[in-house]
Amino acid sequence: MKCTIQNIADHLGLSRNTVSKALKNSSEVSENTRNLVIKTASKLGYKNATFATPVIPASETGSNGTILFLTRTYASDSEFWTTVLRGIESILSNANYHLAISIMSDSDLKQLNFPQTISDSSIKGIILVEICDKVVCDALSQFNLPIVSVDMPNVPFEELNGIDVVTMESKKNLKKIINQLIEKGAESFGFVGDLYSPNVSRGFQERYNALSECLAEHQLPLNQKNCLLHQTPEDFRNFQTTVNNLQAMISLPDVFICGNDWTAIQLIYALQFLGFQIPKDICVVGFDNIPAASRISPSLTTISTPQKYLGIAAARQILERIQHPNCPHVFCQYETELIIRNSTNITSF
């Protein structure tokens, strides 16, 4: 299938106009955004323009070096990490650091095939977003560079090898919305989110745990037959696969709690295709509050994460680690906010 400017815009959560300007090397778009668009266009096979693969800028007067922003190809919730990226940029640019963006494929991650630029002497640190495989994190630590991860592998913090973590609280507000739904009469719940792939973050596990703990407090069971725990984001990109998974359930729950908004949105589309009305027949709750959560119909009840501030905190921590390499490692957790919208419609549940 031919890649279009709109495909690139949708993939990155940017406007079509921004992508078009970036591909034309317009000065109206920041250098980091241009590099991100160009590299993504190359990955997606965009053929309608000629452009060079972005490289790390050469050392310039006043530059302190380069921070490598490392993330995954086809990140399912790209609207999340592009917002994080803006927060990172706002700090690093003021500190006279360049930001180099590298997008790794799942194959690259599996084979530990890191970008060659990681060994460049100008690289002073690495910020990880949506890379939560502990094997990958351990391999990156061998480069002896400061590393800050936004979210983290599904392991205890003390098992990470010298990595600072900036993340979000995952349980409190999920329990809040689950309790409200139970008070309005919901009895059966399902969880939708990959818990078993190598790159799963601890946040997904915490969200599943929040549901399990809340139901246990109300002496309600969590029917595993109403859960999709082994399906990866790639599975959810296949609309028919999601439809088939729902059809295979003997009965559907009153509420689906999803690991993130992107998964919740794919689930809503599949449920609507099968004739279910949201929230009359089934309620759906997401997590992250990406822009698409308010655009979908019905709009998605979700947990809002401070994405820009996660980026700001990650950038500040990488600078702190560069200045003070031997200081104790940091685990920083931000509060979240419950955003009630029409996919639960609490008042008329």
Which pLDDT does position 83 carry in this prediction? 85
The phi and psi torsions of 28 (rounded to 5 degrees) equal: -75, -15
pLDDT digits (tens, 9 = 90+) for 96-150: 999 998 888 888 999 999 998 999 999 999 999 989 999 999 999 999 999 999 9
Amino acid residing at 93: S
5-168+307-334, what's its fold? Rossmann fold (3.40.50)
Which pLDDT does position 61 carry in this prediction? 42
pLDDT at 14 over 50: yes
Q: Are 44 and 7 in contact (CB under 8 A)?
A: yes
Q: Average per-residue pLDDT in the chain?
A: 88
pLDDT at 62 over 60: no
Which pLDDT does position 183 carry in this prediction? 95
The residue ranges of every structural domain in the chain are: 5-168+307-334, 172-304+338-348
Which pLDDT does position 73 carry in this prediction? 63
Is there a common fold for 5-168+307-334 and 172-304+338-348? yes
**Which runs of consecutive H residues, i.e. helices, occur in the chain?**
5-12, 16-23, 31-44, 78-92, 106-110, 134-141, 172-183, 202-217, 233-237, 239-247, 261-273, 292-295, 307-323
CATH superfamily of 172-304+338-348: Response regulator (3.40.50.2300)
Q: Which residue has the higher pLDDT, 300 or 17?
A: 300
Which pLDDT does position 28 carry in this prediction? 64
Which pLDDT does position 3 carry in this prediction? 76
Mean pLDDT throughout 281-290?
A: 96
Cα-Cα-Cα-Cα torsion 236, 237, 242, 245, nearest 10 degrees, comes to -60
Which pLDDT does position 347 carry in this prediction? 61
- Report residue 149 as tokens: 């991860």
Which pLDDT does position 142 carry in this prediction? 93
pLDDT digits (tens, 9 = 90+) for 189-203: 999 999 999 888 999
pLDDT at 76 over 70: no
Which pLDDT does position 114 carry in this prediction? 94
pLDDT digits (tens, 9 = 90+) for 211-269: 999 999 999 999 999 999 999 888 998 999 999 999 999 999 999 999 999 999 999 99
